[in-house]
Amino acid sequence: LLGDRVRMRALAGDSGVFVRSMATRGSLGGLSKTTGDVVTVMDAAGFDRIIVETVGVGQAEVEIASTAHTTLVVEAPGLGDEVQAIKAGILEIADILVVNKADRPGLDRTLRALEMMLEIEGNGARYVRHHGQLLRVESPVERDEDEATWKVVVMKTVAMGGTGIEELRQRIEAHRTWLMESGEMALREQLRIANTLENIIRAELNRRIAASMPASGLDDLVEAIRRRESDPYAAAAGLLSAV
């Protein structure tokens, strides 16, 4: 489990659960840059369930959709989250929507807002971040309409009392079964691998550029552009040619 271990002290003491907190270190996708690598290591180590908790999801923080097989978007009533969900468009990455703290006032309003947005967005598509863009992905496998579509539903839980947790677990298992039987699992793995390769290539290019640039290199380029002796595109091309 990759998440905030401070809030999970009971799990942290369970010998069958490994909990690790990871700083995002400036990453804007909601995850640490090394989260994908850690997930791969945990999988190789034989962990049968790997849960990744994001730092929060906003308009650009949807990297989790390219990392996880099943994405849960968790909201809470009475916090204005129904407005945030509409603004950020995070419903597009959800495989399962959960309203936690369902015993709080404002539950009905939050449920209505989320269900309305599901109707507007439509069901059955998967959105993932690839090459910096949010892409709508349909499985290429031909099959009946009922089999092709995963229905995103809104579930209610009260984590402190355990209400709705078993039903949520069953829904997560049902989604895994659908992934395997529909061919969607293979498609998501392809996208995850492509995203990993892209991140590795980008990181290596950044490292090589930094290594080949003198200490004042960037400042000199900025000053040349400011004096109209160059332009950003020409400066960038010259910099990349030295890599």
Domain ranges of the chain: 1-55, 58-181
By CB atoms closer than 10 A (0-12, 13-18, 19+), residue 125 is: middle
**Token pair recorded at residue 135:** 């892409």
Domain 58-181 has CATH 3.40.50.300: yes
Task: Report the DSSP beta bridge partners of residue 52.
Answer: 2
Please give the Cα distance from 208 to 185 (Å, whole number): 35
**Token pair recorded at residue 236:** 């960038």
Helix/strand/coil percent split, the chain, to 5: 50, 10, 40
By CB atoms closer than 10 A (0-12, 13-18, 19+), residue 211 is: exposed
| 185-195 CB burial, b ≥16 within 10 A, e <16 | eebbeebbeeb
Please give the Cα distance from 163 to 172 (Å, whole number): 16
User: Could you tell me what percent of the chain has a pLDDT over 70?
Assistant: 74
Residues of the chain with pLDDT under 50: 124, 127-136, 138-145
Question: What sign has the CA pseudo-torsion 206, 208, 211, 214?
Answer: negative
CB atoms within 10 A of CB 68: 20
Long-range Cβ pairs for the range 78-83 (8 Å, 24+): 78/104, 78/105, 78/106, 78/110, 81/110, 82/109, 82/110, 82/113, 82/114, 83/113
Alpha helices in the chain (DSSP H): 9-12, 35-44, 81-88, 107-121, 145-148, 165-182, 184-212, 217-226, 232-241
